[in-house]
Structure 1
Amino acid sequence: MALTRAELARYVDHTLLSPTASIEDVKALLDEASDLRTYSICVSPSMLPLPWPTGAVKVATVCGFPSGKHTAEVKAFEAAQSVASGADEVDMVIDIGRLKAGDAAHTEAEIRAVREATPGAVLKVIIESAALTDDEIVAACRAAEAAGADFVKTSTGYHPAGGASAHAVALMAGTVGGRLGVKASGGIRTHEAALAMIAAGATRLGLSGTRAVLDGAGVADGDY
């Protein structure tokens, strides 16, 4: 599929979630996002509130990251605090173990707890698709939709099973049927990989090497 550099940039949550990231690193991330015209930046909740205006760039953060092994109450509190500190969007990690044990009701309940704690914010649900069977991916997506989430998201990028795949994105997109967005993240490092995820049904991309991905379009910086 063909997208201009500017069109592709608008899919991107420009992401920095390294444990060693400093506030200076976040400022550099925001400056780069503004230059590249990405949709948002995604940073750790400890970096909020940001001490500078973000202009047209939205602010996303994470919740229960990266393990998902936090109680629903802790996830809800963390997400609410982030939104109060300026986050426009929250990417929460579900308890993958509970889902794999067949407890999709728990998955739905924890998503709903975060949803109720963050009215007005965009809620994305990270399901670690590489660690799930197809049936489990479908169950996670159905739980997210039932609980009122806005997106389902493939991966944290930290799970040893891997990140996004076109197969998982297509399955997630088919399950939510356009009623929720689909964010592909984890291991998307080339222009071709980004376009493959969008072709499979992704409506948002989580990228840390955004400039390199956009440069793959063969368009010079500033030529939008």
Structure 2
Amino acid sequence: IRIHTDALKDRYPAFGDYVAKYADPAHYRFSLTDKSGAIWFDLRGADRQFDVHYRAAQGRLVPLYGPPRTRPDTLELHVDFTTKLKLFTVGVRNLVADFIITATPHERAWTMIARREPEWSLPFITERFLRSPLRRPFTGTGVIFHLGIRDSAEAQTLLERRSHAEVQESAILRFLNSLGSGAMSDLSDRTEREEEQFLREVFLALQADARALAPSLGAGSPVAPETEKANAADP
């Protein structure tokens, strides 16, 4: 799948500029594995395109290889990610986190917990800084990020997001914060509004595609008995 930021700018100029600035130079890989090492999901991207690999059977995610089996509630998330912030290329390699999936009648959520320090990709000017403060967030309870949707009887459906990390004040963290604050300040009200409009169009298009495919998939099942997708083509 290619990312066409030039076309995006035509309709959403502020959001298109933001994506071009931070997503175009990014290199990344996100994969989900179980304790045996079997891969359940893999996404990798660079040079303004990304590939997604997954397999489904009876409407449920199954390992990419081997016979289908039930997905465990906890998987392992592996992350490699670098991008350009200001003049510097920064990121992480071999970030490993528990990926806990909650699926109840009234809640769907993902919780990621990282307790192992990754390898850092940092500018050479940080070599004189002490690196021990970078290990602090991964001690104790670790770095936690939670994203979910929940509802209850006669109440609104809530989208919730929580994060937790313990940090130690230091020169290297102040430097990284100065880089990250630039990306946050670029996320203006107009950029966020355009992002929401773009995502709305994406989900409406996915909904329309699902409805169009439903008749060909049979009335008894919303998906084919087994499908496999490795999407690396230009739309």
* TM-score exceeds 0.5: no
Q: Provide the TM-score with structure 2 as the length reference.
A: 0.25
| Greater percentage in strand | 2
The structure with higher relative contact order (CA 8 Å, sep 6+) is 2
Query: Max radius of gyration: which structure?
Result: 2
| Greater percentage in helix | 1
